[in-house]
């Protein structure tokens, strides 16, 4: 069993990079959840959250993995 608090200590941008997303110096990336041509997915390093300002998806580390891979919460 995993400790959710330990998982949430992993940097959100590191999670994104491990998923294959290219995070730029402005803490943004192309959103993988819609046909994005200009980076609209933003990472908040202080709160360890992400949000796409085009499609409105948002969440934490677990939500990013869950949505990106199309898997359940427990699998993420």
Q: CB of 31 within 8 A of CB of 52?
A: yes
The pLDDT of residue 40: 98
Q: Which helix (H) or strand (E) holds 43?
A: strand 41-44
The pLDDT of residue 1: 57
Q: What is the pLDDT along the chain (76 residues), one digit of tens a residue?
A: 567 788 888 999 999 999 999 999 999 999 999 999 999 999 999 999 999 999 999 999 999 999 999 998 888 7
């Amino acid at each position: 069993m995993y400790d959710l608090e330990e998982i949430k200590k992993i940097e959100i941008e590191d999670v994104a990079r491990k998923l294959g997303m290219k995070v730029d110096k402005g803490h943004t990336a192309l959103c993988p959840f819609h046909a994005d041509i200009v980076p609209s997915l933003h990472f908040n390093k202080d709160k360890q959250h992400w949000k796409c300002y085009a499609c409105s998806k948002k969440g934490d580390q677990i939500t990013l993995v869950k949505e990106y891979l199309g898997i359940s919460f427990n699998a993420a």
